[in-house]
Amino acid sequence: MKVRVERATSLDLILQMEQTNLRSDEKEIFNSCLRSSANLWGGFVGEELACIFGLIPPTLLSNEAYLWLHTTPALKSHEFVFIRYSQRFIGKVLEQYPTITGVTLVDNTKAIRWLKWLGAEFREESQGVLPFTIRAK
């Protein structure tokens, strides 16, 4: 099955997300991320949505951005391919935003491992979340 990552519009992603089972609080966070993102991408397995990610810069002229990611069950059997895509993606993104920040849940071991592969440095855990930074070399 063909795997691809491509730029997406928020409308494309909203339509895709209508097919997933998000709780109301998750939908609220997701929609906030969509509205705030300067750039959005969707990862697909065939035509099925596997992940959505975006970058939220604090200002239009910022050289820093907040990275967020949402995955669906379709990602499970294609994780390695998406890791390779992620490594290429983060290299290109760091050209535009030399500092990428974000947070992940402390107990999300897969996300922590993925972020380590992307070169993340972690700060001290606070209230169940682990802040991270990825910097251009």
Q: Which residues of 72-82 are buried (b: 16+ CB within 10 A; e: fewer)?
A: bebbeebeebb
| pTM of the shown model | 0.80
**For the chain, which domains are there?**
3-135 (3.40.630.30)
Which phi and psi angles does 43 have, rounded to 5°?
-105, 130
User: Can you list the positions of beta strands (E) in the chain?
Assistant: 3-7, 39-45, 48-56, 64-71, 99-105, 121-122, 129-135
CA distances from 104 to 15, 27, 44 (A): 25, 17, 22
For the chain, how big is the Rg over CA atoms in Å? 14
Residues 6 or more apart in contact with residue 53 via CB below 8 angstroms: 40, 41, 43, 67, 68, 69, 70
Give the pLDDT of the chain (137 residues) as one tens digit per residue.
Answer: 788 888 876 656 665 665 566 777 777 877 788 788 888 888 888 888 888 888 999 988 889 999 998 888 888 888 878 888 888 888 989 999 999 999 999 998 888 988 998 999 999 999 999 999 999 98
